[in-house]
Amino acid sequence: MGMNLSIKTTTYGAPENQEWLGSAHGTQSPDSITLDGASLGALFPTGFVPSGIPLKRNAGTGRYAAAITAEVPDYHLFTSCDLTAGGTMPVTTDTPASGLWTCQVIAAKVPAYAGKTSVVAANTTSGLFRYV
């Protein structure tokens, strides 16, 4: 088996904006999840999905898409994700991510998407999330 010793350049984006987090509670134990690229790519055509988005599990595929309308979210996206892996993949690519299953969320700071305001306004109490 050969080794690939070619030079690879990695570009990092701006610092993560997590002002939607109300505390550090829950950030030490996020779950590994898979984002539904087809669904999220339609909402975020550039492929950049900002942290804080409320996510709902698709029972058929097991992947996570943005929670819409009055759905109670299963997770909030902990760190922003690039569905395109730096432009090397199509925007519809299913992507690994980290999801917070319990946390304090500042509802007014949760990012909006595709012209929709955050779903959290309709869910002031939701399982393990505390919205402030």
Predicted confidence band of residue 114 (pLDDT cuts 50, 70, 90)? low
- CATH number of the domain bearing residue 98: 2.40.300
Q: Where in the sequence is the domain holding 44, given as residue range(s)?
A: 31-131
Tens-digit pLDDT profile for residues 16-72: 888 989 999 889 999 999 999 999 999 899 999 999 988 989 988 999 998 876 677
In a domain, 1, yes or no: no
In a domain, 3, yes or no: no
In a domain, 51, yes or no: yes
In a domain, 52, yes or no: yes
In a domain, 13, yes or no: no
In a domain, 10, yes or no: no
Tens-digit pLDDT profile for residues 64-82: 998 876 677 889 999 999 9
Handedness of CA 120, 121, 122, 125 (dihedral sign): positive
In a domain, 86, yes or no: yes
pLDDT at 9 over 80: no
In a domain, 39, yes or no: yes
Describe the chain by its helix, strand, coil percentages, rounded to 5.
Answer: 10, 25, 60
Number of domains, the chain: 1
Q: What confidence score (pLDDT) does residue 25 get?
A: 87
Handedness of CA 71, 72, 75, 78 (dihedral sign): positive
